[in-house]
Structure 1
């Protein structure tokens, strides 16, 4: 029998952390982080990493497993997440994968194989140098010219995947998108997909409010500490919540402008997250707007739905 797995997805600030902990407590579960940047140590405030008080004794996995100067790929996450799912299920617990990094979640849960071949370290280094000199958009423009499907799916700031797509095309003559989506993917586990949504205006208000709280909690100091370690160009520091402060440190904008840019980027990211999950996974959606005042009732509805799907008795 395949292991049972809950996947809880949705845009930033929609309430995934609180609900996932409630699900874990009621369903004898343990939580697996599905956010690409919560894996890094020292990136706590900007990634909204769960605190020990919030966790309330519920085990969380794949958090703080790398230093911010380390590289960590979707393939690495696929390996680690699947191993963690097997370990949790082997202890008789229910794995609950929670996150907003859609490609990481997809790679872990589905029968997904990364494109093979097309490795050229010298060409990759040339692309990285071009990105530094001309900016990420220059590479994304190249990708749009040779593989518009991949360009539409990969954000310009996701340099790792943009470079990989260009490298594969350069070496194999095949589009990255053709290798990625040439077959229908199926979940490896007996999976229930839960999605959380919310009225857009309300969600944007929550995002703005949360960022203000992050700043009050010391976000600027957290980013400055990492920046001062010479990590400006590290993969980890490309996360939303960190890179927006670089112009401020370099006297190119005011702190207020940096915070406003962070809010805009976070709102745009939330929109992309919702669109991605809606199009990529068979998700059953729950509106969290009502849950702001009736959280317990919403949690009960989600738990009931999961029990029905798994035929728990």
Structure 2
């Protein structure tokens, strides 16, 4: 089996730096598993790695779409597979880095999320219903046929709600049951699944500090440029933490101070959900930052596990 290294974990824990340093030591190249770093111009708000920080390590899945284009798990897997083909052809090791657990799960375990049949008329019907009656009303439809999926999918994620309803119509079974079966799959790779973690207070403090630095670095102007481009459309980019809160400010729904406070709160909640997601995998190698003094020590530990 071919090796696949994953460096996952909550926001602001230091994944990108670890991925670069590890890639330098194991002849690796990085594939981003971040659902928002795919977008050009969304740099500050996504804490996107800079060319200087890449240190010459090739990165895939960054700056490949415009903010008004949609992106989902199937498109991510397709991109990642193409990247892996190139990396393996160059006799290197792919290092999957990010915090979007759904994407990581789909790639690492070769999971089929029920995308094979599309009834475009039904999809259009559901989208028009959501536009007319609201996302909550559409979500209620999902509650009626697949409460497990409804609990897992936020009402605001209209695209995923529609996908679940489409699957039920096409197959007569719940997509939640299908996905549960898919999760029992073994990875087709020689998998090294590292999840970085840290003391919760330290992590939350780091998140708050990062948000303040983002605002100082011009995030407000960046978010305004994105808002002027996509407006109030149901784009994937509009759901990004940081941007969606500032969009509320631009619409006059809250003050700037309230928006910044909400960015910090939503980022902390997201970090907690990320850690909960990764706890479902028994093969995860947990890497507690409190145990190590430097990134180099963490990377040396990772390298030792890969070379065992």
2:204 corresponding residue in structure 1: 204
How far is the alpha carbon of 1:132 from its aligned partner?
Answer: 4.0
- Any gaps of 5 or more consecutive residues in structure 1? 309-313
Q: How does 1:137-176 map to 2 (within 5 A)?
A: 137-176=136-175
How far is the alpha carbon of 1:66 from its aligned partner?
Answer: 1.2
**Would you say 1:111 and 2:110 are equivalent positions?**
yes
- Any gaps of 5 or more consecutive residues in structure 2? none
Secondary structure of the corresponding residue to residue 280 of structure 2:
helix
2:52 corresponding residue in structure 1: 53
How far is the alpha carbon of 1:281 from its aligned partner?
Answer: 5.9
Change (3 A) 1:201 1:135: farther
Change (3 A) 1:135 1:47: farther
Q: CA RMSD in A?
A: 1.9
How far is the alpha carbon of 1:231 from its aligned partner?
Answer: 4.1
Change (3 A) 1:13 1:99: same
How far is the alpha carbon of 1:67 from its aligned partner?
Answer: 1.2
CA distance in 2, matches of 1:206, 1:157: 28
Secondary structure of the corresponding residue to residue 267 of structure 2:
helix
**Would you say 1:74 and 2:55 are equivalent positions?**
no
Change (3 A) 1:201 1:79: same
Structure 1 runs of 4+ with >6 Å offset? none
1:219 corresponding residue in structure 2: 219
Secondary structure of the corresponding residue to residue 182 of structure 1:
helix
2:238 corresponding residue in structure 1: 237
CA distance in 2, matches of 1:203, 1:140: 33
How far is the alpha carbon of 1:196 from its aligned partner?
Answer: 0.6
CA distance in 2, matches of 1:122, 1:280: 38
CA distance in 1, matches of 2:8, 2:201: 19
CA distance in 1, matches of 2:116, 2:254: 43
How far is the alpha carbon of 1:275 from its aligned partner?
Answer: 0.7
1:86 corresponding residue in structure 2: 85
How far is the alpha carbon of 1:135 from its aligned partner?
Answer: 4.3
How far is the alpha carbon of 1:119 from its aligned partner?
Answer: 2.9
Secondary structure of the corresponding residue to residue 4 of structure 2:
strand
Change (3 A) 1:246 1:82: same
How far is the alpha carbon of 1:180 from its aligned partner?
Answer: 2.0
The superposition leaves residues 49-82 of structure 1 with CA deviations (integer Å, 9 ceiling, x where unpaired) of 1001211111111111111111222111111101
Do 2:68 and 2:230's aligned partners in 1 also have CA atoms closer than 8 Å?
no
Identify which range, 149-158 or 62-71, moves more after superposition: 149-158
1:288 corresponding residue in structure 2: 289
CA distance in 1, matches of 2:208, 2:129: 34
Identify which range, 229-238 or 95-104, moves more after superposition: 229-238
Identify which range, 28-37 or 225-234, moves more after superposition: 225-234
CA distance in 1, matches of 2:137, 2:197: 34
Secondary structure of the corresponding residue to residue 230 of structure 2:
coil
TM-score of the two chains, using structure 2 as the length reference:
0.92
Do 1:9 and 1:195's aligned partners in 2 also have CA atoms closer than 8 Å?
yes
Identify which range, 54-63 or 282-291, moves more after superposition: 282-291
TM-score of the two chains, using structure 1 as the length reference:
0.91
Q: How does 1:123-138 map to 2 (within 5 A)?
A: 123-138=122-137
